[in-house]
Amino acid sequence: MAHQTTSGSNTALLTRPGQANATGDARALYLKLFSGEMFKGFQHNAIARDLVMRRTLKNGSSLQFIYTGHTTAEYHTPGNSILGNSDGAPPVAQKTITVDDLLISSAFVYELDETLAHYELRGEISKKIGYALAQKYDRLIFRSIARGARAVSPITKTNFVEPGGTQIRVGSNNQASDAYVSASLINAFYDAAAALDEKGVSSDGRVGVLNPRQYYELIQAVGTSGLVNRDEQGSSLQAGNGIIEIAGIKIYKSMNVPFFSQYGTKYAPDSNPAAGTDLETANPGNTGSFVSEGIEDAQASVSGVNNEYGNAAKFANTCGLIFQKEAAGCVEAMGPQVQVTSGDISVVYQGDVILGRLAMGADFLNPAACVELFAGTATKPAAFGSTYPANAS
């Protein structure tokens, strides 16, 4: 039995859930909990990270990727030395992806607020920091893939030109609303699969990313299209997890995919949207500041950006992406990490700064593996400009 000491404290009776084995820093376990929540928030929301080529960069600011084009077969002439094909094949080219500046998301937690709060404050903040980093991560990768869909191959040797990107119009009426027509989307997926086959792109790792409303339109078409696995019914279907694939292309939904100069969704500006340019999707109201965000400027000339991701005008008619794993590369110099102030800093400010950070860069790799869906126009969205070796807008 513990007894009160002469100093008046009951230290032996205290249970310190933040201590490891009842010794040491009273907050040690809290910080680890926060770290886990941040990583969980990031991993659950960053879908693009595992869908493209990801490499870790050390002791450098950029990473080089090598392309090797096709070669030919030729008959040997008796007596001739074999020193490689007479045409110099296969041709080789390179692509360099540079790491952008440090990406951060942070919050200051005042100790008194944390004490008075009736809920676990740090865990909630940590998840939001993870969400913010994951959102930016996905957006940059998806924009890179759209850029690749408009690019030619880096292999341009005469008679050895490799396939470039693909752009497929959804529907045939030049209406933005075609992006939500399930039959048109299904046709676009089959066209994309055929184009990828024709360009020699592996069928392994093919995926499509649509916005939520497009995804749910496909689910509603299950009766005639046969898109849903017969084992995925009931709650799985209603939760939006029922669609398995179209033409061997696994489908994901995301609010970070470029969609008519915004992310994930775009509402009609008024009750009479302009034909061919605006969607007929009614704004449900009270959507907040983070829904239907416009695409921010992320050209190579923007401070902190060292790759080319374009601006809103570049994605005026984009309405979905289909790609294979080789479509884009992501270079990480610093993976998702969490830092928390402590010691004298915490004493001076009576609280802690909680920081999530990462350093990454993304760009397209194999244009042939990139497919951009567009609607609202008969004209394919224009390329971003010079593709090799410069990163132009």
User: For 174-190, how does the pLDDT look when each residue is reduced to its tens digit (9 = 90+)?
Assistant: 889 999 999 999 999 99
Highest mean pLDDT out of 56-60, 130-134, 175-179, 321-325: 321-325
Gyration radius of the chain over CA positions: 26
316 near 261, Cβ under 8 Å?
A: yes
| Prediction pTM value | 0.83
295 within a domain of the structure (yes/no): yes
Q: Record the tokens describing residue 338, joined without a space.
A: 């969490």
CB atoms within 10 A of CB 235: 9
Residue 389 banded pLDDT, cuts 50, 70, 90: very low
Is the pLDDT at 393 greater than 80, yes or no?
no
Distance separating alpha carbons of residues 47 and 212, to the nearest angstrom: 14
Distance separating alpha carbons of residues 122 and 257, to the nearest angstrom: 29
pLDDT at 107: 86
Peptide bond into 367 cis (omega under 30): no
What is the number of structural domains in the chain? 1
Is the pLDDT at 33 greater than 80, yes or no?
no
379 within a domain of the structure (yes/no): no
45 within a domain of the structure (yes/no): yes
**Burial class of residue 183 in the structure, from the number of CB atoms within 10 Å of its CB (0-12 exposed, 13-18 middle, 19+ buried):** middle
Q: For residue 180, what is the DSSP state?
A: G
21 within a domain of the structure (yes/no): no
380 within a domain of the structure (yes/no): no
361 near 97, Cβ under 8 Å?
A: yes
Highest mean pLDDT out of 45-54, 179-188, 225-234: 179-188
CA geometry: angle 156, 160, 164, nearest 5 deg: 55
Type of residue numbered 15: T
73 within a domain of the structure (yes/no): no
Residue 207 banded pLDDT, cuts 50, 70, 90: very high
User: For 344-358, how does the pLDDT look when each residue is reduced to its tens digit (9 = 90+)?
Assistant: 888 888 888 888 899
Q: For residue 129, what is the DSSP state?
A: H
Q: Is 286 left (phi over 0), alpha (psi -120 to 50) or beta?
A: left
Residue 242 banded pLDDT, cuts 50, 70, 90: very low
User: For 62-73, how does the pLDDT look when each residue is reduced to its tens digit (9 = 90+)?
Assistant: 888 887 888 888
15 within a domain of the structure (yes/no): no
pLDDT at 26: 63
Look at residues 332, 302, 390, 357 and name the one whose alpha carbon lies nearest to residue 99: 332
CATH of the domain at 61: 3.90.1690
Which residue segment(s) compose the domain that 270 sits in? 27-67+99-284+291-374
Question: CB under 8 Å to 133, separation ≥6 — which residues?
Answer: 42, 46, 103, 105, 336, 356, 357, 358
Is the pLDDT at 211 greater than 90, yes or no?
yes
Distance separating alpha carbons of residues 245 and 99, to the nearest angstrom: 33
392 within a domain of the structure (yes/no): no
141 SS3 class: helix
pLDDT at 278: 73
DSSP characters over 266-292: ---SSSSPPTTTS--PPP-S---SSSS
User: Chain centroid to CA 25: how far?
Assistant: 38
CB atoms within 10 A of CB 67: 17
Which one has a higher pLDDT value, 149 or 238? Answer: 149
